[in-house]
Amino acid sequence: MTTAQNHIIERLPRTDRQRLLNLCEPVHLVLSDVLFVQGAPSLYAYFPVDGFISLLQRIDTHPPLEVGMVGREGMLGVQLALGVATTPLLAVVQGSGSAWRVEQSAFQHELLQSPALQQSLHRYVDVLMAQLAASASCQRFHLIGARLARWLLMSQDRVHSDVFHVTHEILAHMLGVRRVGVTVAARDLQRRGLIEYHRGELKVLDRIGLEAAACSCYNMDKEIYRTLMH
């Protein structure tokens, strides 16, 4: 595990932070691994350090649709902080990396000992609720290209790298659109010199340009997080 930390853990008072870390074990997040199954009990809570996890909603026989992300800024399993053991969404590793993992009963016991952790996670629940609401409205009102730019920025923020692995098929599932729509949108971003894409490897070339191309939801997400978590 690197010295870099999860932001929720970082913000805890030193004693609370060390007590929580003593309960955690370092784990590697492997691309495409399923961490939570929708409707199943949550056995662990995860605090990502790098990499990120997609929160997906599965409806009927349709491919799962991404409705949120969890990276270094947050925690996977926040429902445990509300006393809910059942997982509300499918959780799949979308960017490989490292995380701290804590067993659910140990986490809930620690939660009772740490008002600071309780407060931070209650605020983070509010952040996730806003993210879920923004995801629904974004899919309804914003064009594919702007949504793709937003998704790439959110992913880059969490992998902390200009280069990451993603296929058109995955992007289509994440955005809830046909693959041809993602292909056209990605080609446009590439033509404008904002990204470079080849055989599943995507590189962000112009971060400022990509921010300009993204829908307003990206800056709104950042502002909500800044307001609630700082």
| DSSP assignment string, 110-165 | HHHH-HHHHHHHHHHHHHHHHHHHHHHHHHHHS-HHHHHHHHHHHHHHHHTSSEEE
Q: Are residues 159 and 214 in the same domain?
A: yes
Q: Is 77 exposed, middle or buried (0-12, 13-18, 19+ CB in 10 A)?
A: buried
Would you say residue 125 lies in a domain? no
Dihedral over alpha carbons 25, 28, 34, 39 (to 10 degrees): 20
| pLDDT confidence band for 13 (50 / 70 / 90) | very high
Comparing C-alpha atoms, which of 117, 49, 107 is closest to residue 77?
107
pLDDT of the residue at 131: 86
CATH number at residue 159: 1.10.10.10
Does the pTM of the predicted model rise above 0.85?
Answer: yes
Q: Are residues 99 and 177 in the same domain?
A: no
- Count of CA atoms in the C-beta half-sphere (13 A) of 111: 20
Would you say residue 121 lies in a domain? no
Would you say residue 120 lies in a domain? no
Q: Are residues 42 and 95 in the same domain?
A: yes
Q: Are residues 23 and 111 in the same domain?
A: yes
| pLDDT confidence band for 59 (50 / 70 / 90) | confident
Q: Are residues 95 and 166 in the same domain?
A: no
Number of domains in the chain: 2
Would you say residue 76 lies in a domain? yes
| Mean pLDDT value across residues 138-159 | 92
Would you say residue 124 lies in a domain? no
Res 6 pLDDT > 70: yes
Q: Are residues 91 and 17 in the same domain?
A: yes
Would you say residue 81 lies in a domain? yes
| Mean pLDDT value across residues 65-79 | 94
Q: Are residues 109 and 196 in the same domain?
A: no
pLDDT of the residue at 4: 52
| Full domain range(s) for residue 69 | 7-115
More confident residue, 199 or 18: 18
Res 2 pLDDT > 50: no
Q: Are residues 106 and 152 in the same domain?
A: no
Would you say residue 2 lies in a domain? no
Q: Are residues 107 and 175 in the same domain?
A: no
Would you say residue 126 lies in a domain? no
